[in-house]
Structure 1
Amino acid sequence: MDLDSFSALHTAEGQALLAELRDHDPASELATATRLRRTHPAPLVSAALAQARLRQRAVAKFGQEDAARMYFTPDGVEQSTRASVAEYRAGRFAALGVRRVADLCCGIGGDAIALARAGIEVLAVDRDPLTAAAARAGVEALGLDGLITVECADVTEIDTAPYDAVFVDPARRGGRGRIFDPEAYSPPLSWAVAAAGRAPYAALKVAPGIPHEAVPAEAGAEWISDRGEVKEAVLWFGAGPPGEVRATLLPGPRTLTGRGLPDPGVREPGRYLYEPDGAVVRAHLVAEVAEEVGGGLLDETIAYITADEARETPYATAYEITDVLPFNLKRLKALLREREVGVLTVKKRGSPVEPEELRRRMRLKGRARATVFLTRVAGAPSMLLGHPVR
């Protein structure tokens, strides 16, 4: 979609097409396109169908109501922040007393929208004309243009001095896919850190896999998961002590803050196994959870905690373990058949076996359910069988 085609969507004819396509079935898109092209220009039909597809994809991140009114680009849908995460971050800014934010690399405007709904005035900047146009159109459609100003500009040329805070979401994808080197972000992480240093508060969105040693000494780092799926890491400036490490789980939010504990010791498998949330693992806060549940590690290199008691914690999922066995698929198959297990959940850390391949080889039959962990116990490949603690 080019800028001219996107602009055509804002004509009366374009808006009528978008309204008609709101609930269209992608499986019948060819027939729909053929029908609409009899009465509408082909480029406009193509643009409307593309926008309708993007809106349907965006429902998972923004919800049905907002997604149906916002405007998207393919990269914008892929790279935008999930609404629940953006709302949480906007809440942190608001709690700091921030009233004006420069949102640099704003994309289609998801974070700007969350900030505005938290009562914060936003300058949203993106250098791509189509992306900026999509952000501007979405802001207007949601009635937030009184709080959000969208500019198409190079973020490195923006004067952020009038703003209480800076939020930077650098592009982390290139022509070959994901970019793992923070200095290869666009703009580079070093530039974003310098921009953060010029504002009272700042937050820099980075990939969850960022090495801890790449976190600037003056920043705090927060890893965020939503319903068990790690979404991002954020470097915070001015929002807490330098060097602070946090894992935040949504919904909630529930936040675990690092206390600099030493790594837990390795111990024999107990009755319970705890699987820490991915944000906890990324934040290197497994020791804090192990202390909370009174447990140790199954293996010094694996983030599975074992304990003798079932203790409730929001930061890990607990399983009752019934069997601890050396790794042997024939033995596992016989055990599952004996117990008439027909539904098997496969968890793995430190094992090369793929879950789908394992399930195929087990040829499951029966009504019982079970969970198997393929991992290492004190360095030895092992299988632990059990079920979630309710």
Structure 2
Amino acid sequence: MDAEDVAALLSPTGQELLRALPPYDPGSALAQGERLRAAGHPAALVAAALTQARLRERARPKLGERAAGLLLTPDGVEQATRALVAERHARRYAAAGLRHVADLGCGIGADALALLDAGLGVTAVDADPVTAAVAAANLAGHPGARVRCADVTAPGVVADAVGADGGAWFDPARRSGGRRVFDPESTSPPLSFVLDVAARVAATGAKLAPGVPHDALPPEVAGRGTEAQWTSVDGDVVECALWCGPLARPGVRRGAALAVTGPDGASTWHEVDDTAPSTTGVGAVGEVLYEPDGAVIRAGLVGAVAAEVGGRLLDPTIAYVTADGAVPTPLARGYAVEHVMPFGLKPLRAWLRAHGVGRLVVKKRGTAVEPEVLRRQLRLEGTAEATVVLTRVAGRQSVLVVRPLPSRTARGGRAALEG
């Protein structure tokens, strides 16, 4: 999308066309485009409008029903913060007593909208003219919003956007040439710039990639503490948020926040942090295997799961927990352990064939075995389905045949360890 597309979509004709479009259907989009052009709509406007319909449908799981009224860009949808996560970001700033936040690298304005919903004033800044124009359209009608097209690293831009006593929020661009960027110093702006701003603007937060190394996150900036919180939504790790100064919780260095969607569609949040009890003991496989949520693993809090369920680690280097009974926890998925054996293709094939297994779910951690290769080598032909976990138990390559627990409180059982 370019500036002409934005202008056309924001024109009265463009707005009327967008409102008239039905929900996007890839199967009928081509025919719909032909009908609109035949009705006299300019081809460029039709293409831009249908692109918006497609992007809005793609953004709906992230942004909810609000997506239907936003202007969007492909990169903006990709990087936009999910609405329920952006809402939690905004609450941090409001709870810290902030009245105004500079959204530095605002993209399409997803975080800015959440900040405005929380009653905060926002100055949204983006270096790309088209993206800034899209953000301005999305924030139009909010008296507390101001949008600037500027490079946040240019002298004076941050100071002007933050004001005398505001806070700063960064969502650095993590894509270059269509590819993800994993090095925090290769994002735009780099993490070092974010930390430099945090040394001057006490209330600074930043959305970082989930895989950011722990050693890249300083324990404090300018004598003020920091908190890194990894967030997952229904098991998908979506970010690591770095909170500085008054936005960080006292005494918390690392944490995990998990959003779980219930049958009614509502999300419930669960949190754990490094102030929770933790255990790093290693022991034998018990009746239940726990697979901690990805955010918990990223935050280095597997030991907190072990403490919560009264369990132990399978191996000091593996993020699996085992216990002698099932304990309800939102921090991990539980599996009843039905059989344990040392890893070996022949004994595994024999066990699975003896139990009529033809469909196999393979989970792995701490092994180089590729699930697809293993399935081909096993040559299973039965009708039953099974789940196996390939991992290390006290340093030994092992296979655990497991069954997903139907509930958080169901109990499991297993065969005795063989070999």
TM-score between both structures, scaled by the size of structure 2? 0.86
The whole-number CA distance in structure 1 between the counterparts of 2:317 and 2:198 is 35
Residues 1-20 of structure 1 deviation map (CA, whole Å, 9 limit, x = unaligned):
21111210122221232223
Letter in 2 for 1:244: R
Contact 2:206 2:243 in 1 (8 A): yes
How far apart, in 1, do the equivalents of 2:217 and 2:34 lie? 53
Contact kept, 8 Å, 1:225 with 1:278, in 2: the verdict is yes
Tell me the distance in 1 between the aligned counterparts of 2:368 and 2:34.
Answer: 48
Unpaired runs of 5+ residues, structure 1, are: none
Task: Return the offset for 1:365.
Answer: 3.9
Q: Which residue of 2 aligns with 1:155?
A: 152
Amino acid at match of 2:393: V
Displacement of 1:137 after TM fit? 1.5
Instruction: State the distance in 2 between where 1:262 and 1:225 align.
Output: 21
Q: State how far apart, in whole Å, the 2-side matches of 1:52 and 1:253 are.
A: 31
* Identity %, equivalent residues: 52
Give the deviation of 1:90 after TM superposition. 1.4
Partner of 1:216: 218
C-alpha distance 176-48 of structure 1, shift in aligned 2 (>3 A):
closer
SS in 1 for 2:219: coil
The answer to whether the 8 Å contact 1:170/1:205 transfers is yes
Structure 1 residue 220 displacement after superposition: 1.3
Question: Secondary structure at 2:119's aligned position in 1?
Answer: coil
Q: CA deviation at 1:296?
A: 1.5
- Write the distance in 1 (CA, Å) between the matches of 2:352 and 2:113: 50
Residue pair 2:132, 2:148 contacting (<8 A) in 1 also: yes
The answer to whether the 8 A contact 2:251-2:275 is kept is no
Of 306, 331, 336 in structure 2, the residue corresponding to residue 320 of structure 1 is: 336
**Aligned AA (1:22):** P
The answer to whether 1:269 aligns with 2:285 is yes
Q: What's the offset of the Cα at 1:132?
A: 1.1
Q: Which amino acid letter does the alignment assign opposite residue 232 of structure 2?
A: S
Q: Does the CA-based 8 Å contact 1:247-1:256 persist in structure 2?
A: yes
- Which one-letter code corresponds to 2:403 in the other structure? H
Deviations 1:269-307 (A, max 9, x none): 111111111111101111111112122211221100111
Which whole-Å CA distance do the structure 2 matches of 1:82 and 1:333 have between them? Answer: 43
2:410 counterpart residue number = none
Q: Deviations over 1:128-177 (max 9, x none)?
A: 1111111121223xx5x223222212223232233431111111111261
Question: Structure 1 CA distance, aligned partners of 2:200 and 2:22?
Answer: 44
Q: Find the counterpart in structure 2 of residue 46 from structure 1.
A: 47
Name the TM-score, length of structure 1 as normaliser. 0.92
Superposed displacement of residue 82, structure 1: 1.1
Aligned-partner residue type, residue 175 of structure 1: G
Q: Is the 8 A contact 1:80 1:107 kept in 2?
A: yes
Q: Which moved more, 1:228-237 or 1:28-37?
A: 28-37
Counterpart contact for 1:106–1:169, Cα < 8 Å: yes
In structure 1, what residue type is equivalent to 2:400? L
- CA–CA separation in structure 2 for the residues paired with 1:150 and 1:268: 58
Show the counterpart of 1:71. Answer: 71
The corresponding residue for 1:191 is: 193
Query: SS in structure 2 opposite 1:16?
Result: helix
How many residues were matched structurally?
Answer: 385
Check 1:342–1:97 CA distance in 2 against 1; reply closer, same or farther (3 A cut): farther
Question: Where does residue 368 of structure 2 map in the other structure?
Answer: 352
The 5 A counterparts of 1:168-179 are 168-175=170-177, 177-179=179-181
CA contact (8 A) 2:279 2:307 kept: no
Distance 1:133 1:23 in 2: 24
**Which AA in structure 2 matches 1:223?**
W
Change (3 A) 1:184 1:24: closer
Following superposition, the deviation at residue 265 of structure 1 comes to: 2.5
- Per mean C-alpha deviation after superposition, the further-off stretch among 241-250 and 299-308 is 241-250
1:161–1:198: 8 Å Cα contact kept in structure 2?
no
Distance 1:19 1:57 in 2: 17
The 1:236–1:273 alpha-carbon spacing in structure 2 relative to 1, beyond 3 Å, is same
Q: Per-residue CA shift, 1:345-371, capped at 9, x if unaligned?
A: 3321122334455456554643x5532
User: Cα–Cα, structure 1 residues 321 and 3, in superposed 2: closer, same or farther, change >3 Å?
Assistant: same
